[in-house]
Amino acid sequence: MISPKEDVSLLVVLAGPAGSGKTTLCERMVDTESNVERVVTCTTRQPREGEKDGVDYHFLSDEQFDRAIDTGAFLEWAKVHTNRYGVLKRVIQEKLDQKIDIVMNVDVQGVANIKAAAAEDEMLSKRLVTIFILPPDLEVVRERLRGRGKDDEAEIERRVQTAIKEVELWPDFDYVIVTKSKDEDYAALQNIWRAEKLRSLRLGE
């Protein structure tokens, strides 16, 4: 009898409107589970107060971002709100090669781009799990962004306007978590995680 392999690494991608709680969930996952790392993505946006280069994002200039596009360094990149964001291929590949589980947080275009890349790459497609974090209404988004205290009202309104379009895309995802309390959201993510680890399609590599 052939036994299933035990360490099956996952690439879990969370998306959803600003303020839905993606960053909070990613950080808790990394703090709680062993062998899980977060992928730090690149952005041309300015750091918010307290954000650190290489920890929250790799903060790139427009020129640096252009160069990364030209050299084919991004697995995917997209313009979100008013800035550009991108995931480096190399970082994903290194972690998956080392059998490290990945959680990451990208916008809805990013998920579509990663799914398209996975359609041509069996290793990626076997690991990819997409989860949409859905706020029950837009007021929750506003309240949480105000509570976070890092964006002014104009920036918050820009994110709410983007959210109106983003929330329509939840049916394209493997899973949807309608956000409630932080603990309930995390329990939902853990349930998905544990079930995905046991999926037979990932066994027998």
Ligand X SMILES: Nc1nc2c(ncn2[C@@H]2O[C@H](COP(=O)(O)OP(=O)(O)O)[C@@H](O)[C@H]2O)c(=O)[nH]1
Ligand Y SMILES: Nc1ncnc2c1ncn2[C@@H]1O[C@H](COP(=O)(O)OP(=O)(O)O)[C@@H](O)[C@H]1O
Residues that bind ligand Y (CB under 6 A): 18-24, 105, 144, 147-148, 179, 181-182, 185
Query: Count of CB atoms within 10 A of residue 125's CB?
Result: 15
**Quick check: 45 binds ligand X (CB under 6 A)?**
yes
Hey, what amino acid is at 179? T
Q: Which is nearer to ligand X, 51 or 121 (CB)?
A: 51
- 20 makes contact, choosing from ligand Y, ligand X, none, with CB < 5 to 8 Å by partner type, with ligand Y
Query: Count of CB atoms within 10 A of residue 193's CB?
Result: 18
User: Do the annotations mark residue 17 as ligand-binding?
Assistant: yes
User: Tokens representing 188?
Assistant: 């939902």
Q: Which of residues 56-85 bind ligand X (CB under 6 A)?
A: 76, 78, 80, 85
* Min dist. Cβ of residue 165 to ligand X (A): 12
Question: CA of 140: how far to CAs of 18, 179, 181, in Å?
Answer: 10, 9, 12
User: Do the annotations mark residue 16 as ligand-binding?
Assistant: yes
Q: Which of residues 80-119 bind ligand X (CB under 6 A)?
A: 80, 85-87, 105-107, 109-110
Q: Which is nearer to ligand Y, 146 or 199 (CB)?
A: 146
User: Do the annotations mark residue 15 as ligand-binding?
Assistant: no
Q: 147: burial class by Cβ within 10 Å (0-12, 13-18, 19+)?
A: exposed
Query: Which residue in 87, 139, 137, 127 sits closest to 109, CA to CA?
Result: 87
* Min dist. Cβ of residue 103 to ligand Y (A): 12
Query: Which residue in 70, 74, 94, 71 sits closest to 85, CA to CA?
Result: 74
CA angle 154, 82, 158 (to 5 degrees): 30
Element (H or E) spanning 78, and its range?
strand 74-80
User: Do the annotations mark residue 61 as ligand-binding?
Assistant: no
Q: Which is nearer to ligand Y, 148 or 202 (CB)?
A: 148
The binding site comprises: 16-23
* Interface ranges with ligand X (CB under 6 A): 18, 22, 41, 45, 76, 78, 80, 85-87, 105-107, 109-110, 159
The binding site for ATP comprises: 16-23
